[in-house]
Amino acid sequence: MEGADVLAGVSGIHLGEAEAIFLAQKLGTELIVDEGEASATAQMFGVRSIGTIAVLLLALARDKLTLNEFKGCLDGLIASGFWLSIDVYNKALEEAQSMAKRKEMEN
């Protein structure tokens, strides 16, 4: 995408992230990104970003994933090289478990 190489050079983000930011801006859509610099850069361009864990939590909230599937996705991401601190992993699981309990109580 035109200008992506300049954006990458100036901001320090990867070329693919810069291209994704421009594409999301052009399409008027959110961008799934986990790198802090890329997320901040996206926001400067008026692009709302969301992280991978948040996408999984939204899927759980919308009944697209069960709690076990959510945990399986987290574990699968880690197994494939996705870096996640133990604190973030535990917080994500706690939030997912809390959501699952609230849903049980509603039903």
In sequence order, which residues have a C-beta less than 8 Å from that of residue 47 and are 6 or more positions away?
21, 24, 25, 30, 31
Banded model confidence at residue 2, pLDDT cuts 50, 70, 90: confident
pLDDT tens readout for residues 45-64: 999 999 999 999 999 999 99
58 and 92: one domain? Answer: yes
CA angle 1, 80, 39 (to 5 degrees): 40
46 and 83: one domain? Answer: no
For the chain, what is the domain count? Answer: 2
Residue 1 has pLDDT above 90, yes or no: no
44 and 61: one domain? Answer: no
In sequence order, which residues have a C-beta less than 8 Å from that of residue 33 and are 6 or more positions away?
17, 20, 39, 42, 49, 50, 51
The residue range of the domain holding 56 is: 52-106
